[in-house]
Homo-oligomer: A and B are copies of this chain.
Amino acid sequence: MPSANASRRSQEKPREIMDAAEDYAKERYGVSSMIQSQEKPDRVLVRISDLTVQKAGEVVWVRARVHTSRAKGKQCFLVLRQQQFNVQALVAVGDHASKQMVKFAANINKESIVDVEGVVRKVNQKIGSCTQQDVELHVQKIYVISSAEPRLPLQLDDAVRPEVEGEEEGRATVNQDTRLDNRVIDLRTSTSQAIFRLQSGICHPFRETLTNKGFVEIQTPKIISAASEGGANVFTVSYFKNNAYLAQSPQLYKQMCICADFEKVFCIGPVFRAEDSNTHRHLTEFVGLDIEMAFNYHYHEVVEEIADTLVQIFKGLQKRFQTEIQTVNKQFPCEPFKFLEPTLRLEYCEALAMLREAGIEMGDEEDLSTPNEKLLGRLVKEKYDTDFYILDKYPLAVRPFYTMPDPRNPKQSNSYDMFMRGEEILSGAQRIHDPQLVTERALHHGIDLEKIKAYIDSFRFGAPPHAGGGIGLERVTMLFLGLHNVRQTSMFPRDPKRLTP
């Protein structure tokens, strides 16, 4: 503030003070001091989703992020966001706001968190860009609670734009690595919020349905002393002066619980696979929803329980998460997920016949390749109109050593996979519960008996016949929503090339 006249300068107040003096609203805005639990004000913060015409005329406090801001003369329009909900807010020069206050509001960085006091006003024309279309907030006070840095690594609007639309219009979309590198921001989008709310809605009915069926929830150790399934694809852990491994599945422990009379058990937990697979559906760490159950006479008793549990999950999602499904569909359009009751169960030989009819050449004891699984999914959908089915009676040769052989056909086994939209989401089987037979089968597979001694010993003191399976949570979410990459449905995905954030 240069001035040539010292006497005049001394007579005048400095410019800042003068401006502040002129600012009749100066107490009504600013940057709050950090919330350190200094006080417990009895202020009620209202949810944005509750701002409707019923509240018109009321003065409310709201805490929200600044989603966008746009200054226009003596006004500033903000969009305030709270999770998937947003509302328009107006700061306009007048009784409550000064021009300095409008300028302050206009300069708040996007994604900052603010406390706003305002009057709820009904609007004449619906605000199409907000979830709260019938009201706006006339701001009387605005304080920044937590500032965002000015430059965001990605724009939320870009991150929810359908790829096709972005391409057509030449507008930006966000690539997967940028999303994952900046997951804290990417997870704020309406699409991400919807995906993970829905995923939380898979675990809940899984446990609810099984608990009602008499299952007990168990916790199984993840650090194990020997590689449970042969030794390939297992992560090694330094365990004090020795080595240990990360469990590739809770199977051994689920089976031990069956041998320990828990009869029906389930668990939800991390599963680790040291596979160097860089595909759309492989992670090195994923969440397994695991089931194991003693049955009376036939493993189909278990297959039916598992299929019914999945059907209960699908029904629950379609009933309680329509908003989330529609939100995701806006960005990733997809046909609704279809399933039958009771669930379609095909035998492996029937699937082979369908594939052969479609021109695929496959041996009777050959496993399904990923393209053939997908083709089979399309054939099944055409013929039976379902996105979910069970494939039963896999060839014994392609299943692990602990799989019970089919007593009526030594080349078949009492094992099954379950598929959603042509991709495997569960693999399971009747397990051999006889120590003699499981020993024979392990030898046949060339497995070192010493390494699986504890496993075999579990069956020596009376073991009920039992079967089970493991479901990949991220795959279920991905395929239910018709997404195309399992990294979209893992909050912090792990693959051979990604360990952060």
Contact = CB atoms under 8 A, between A and B. Distances in A.
Nearest to A193: B261
Contacts of A460: 148-149
A308 interface: no
A404 B36 CA distance: 7
Interface string A458-474: 11111111000000010
A20 interface: no
A246 interface: yes
Given A147-B462, A183-B260, A235-B237, A499 B111 contact: no
A478 to B, nearest CB: 14
Contact of A261 (B65, B246, B272, B406): B65
A224 B83 CA distance: 27
A299 interface: yes
A113 B196 contact: no
B219 A65 contact: no
A187 interface: yes
A494 B113 contact: no
A204 B219 CA distance: 13
B37 A404 contact: yes
Interface stretch (A123-131, A333-341, A360-368, A430-438): A430-438
**Taking each of A237, A287, A414, which has the highest tally of chain B beta carbons within 10 Å of its own beta carbon?**
A237
Interface in A190-236: 192-193, 196-197, 199-200, 203-204, 207, 211, 216-225, 235-236
Contact of A39 (B199, B220, B298): B298
Interface in A439-496: 454, 458-465, 473, 490-492, 494, 496
Contacts of A287: 219
Nearest to A236: B238
A428 interface: no
Given A36-B405, A63-B296, A236-B238, 7 more contacts: A37-B430, A146-B433, A183-B260, A187-B261, A199-B219, A219-B473, A237-B237
B407 A36 contact: yes
A311 interface: no
A285 to B, nearest CB: 5
Nearest to A404: B36
B501 A244 contact: no
Contact of A297 (B35, B183, B259): B35
A359 interface: no
Contact of A185 (B225, B404, B434, B461): B461
Interface stretch (A3-11, A69-77, A262-270): A262-270
A244 to B, nearest CB: 6
A257 interface: yes
A296 B404 CA distance: 57
A176 interface: no
A276 interface: yes
A54 interface: no
Given A148-B462, A149-B461, A462-B65, A256 B40 contact: no
B183 A256 contact: yes
Contacts of A408: 38
Interface string A6-38: 000000000000000000000000000011111
Interface in A385-411: 404-408
A239 interface: yes
Nearest to A203: B217
A303 to B, nearest CB: 10
A142 to B, nearest CB: 14
A461 B197 contact: no
A132 interface: no
Contacts of A462: 65, 111-113, 146-148
Most buried by B among A222, A242, A297, A459: A297
A323 interface: no
A431 to B, nearest CB: 11
A284 interface: yes
A371 interface: no
A460 B111 CA distance: 10
Contacts of A63: 296, 464
Contacts of A296: 43, 45, 63
Nearest to A149: B460
13 contacts: A35-B433, A37-B299, A37-B406, A37-B414, A40-B298, A63-B296, A65-B462, A146-B464, A183-B260, A184-B256, A225-B500, A256-B501, A257-B491
Contacts of A37: 297-300, 404, 406-407, 414, 430, 465
A358 interface: no
Given A40-B297, A461-B111, A463-B146, A260 B184 contact: yes
